[in-house]
Amino acid sequence: MSPPRSPENEPSAGPDETLPAVAPQLRALRRRASLTLEAAARSAGLSPAH
């Protein structure tokens, strides 16, 4: 018999599954705020490559 399912033993989505969904949302939010990629990265303390 398998153990009961709980959030602790559920498989999590890997980066390949998560990033494609996150990137368009971040882009839309950034554009809505009229921020360039460089300005958004600077505000977050990151380089634009991140």
pLDDT in tens, 7-46: 565 566 666 666 678 889 999 999 999 999 999 999 999 9
> How many CB atoms are closer than 10 A to CB 31?
12
Task: Compute the distance between CA of residue 31 and CA of residue 7 in angstroms, rounded to an integer.
Answer: 34
Rounded distance, CA 15 to CA 13, Å? 7
Residue 25, pLDDT score: 92
Do 49 and 38 touch, CB atoms closer than 8 A?
Answer: no
**Sign of the C-alpha dihedral computed for residues 34, 24, 12 and 5 taken in this order:** positive
Q: Write down the pTM of the prediction.
A: 0.52
- 42 versus 4: the higher-pLDDT residue is 42
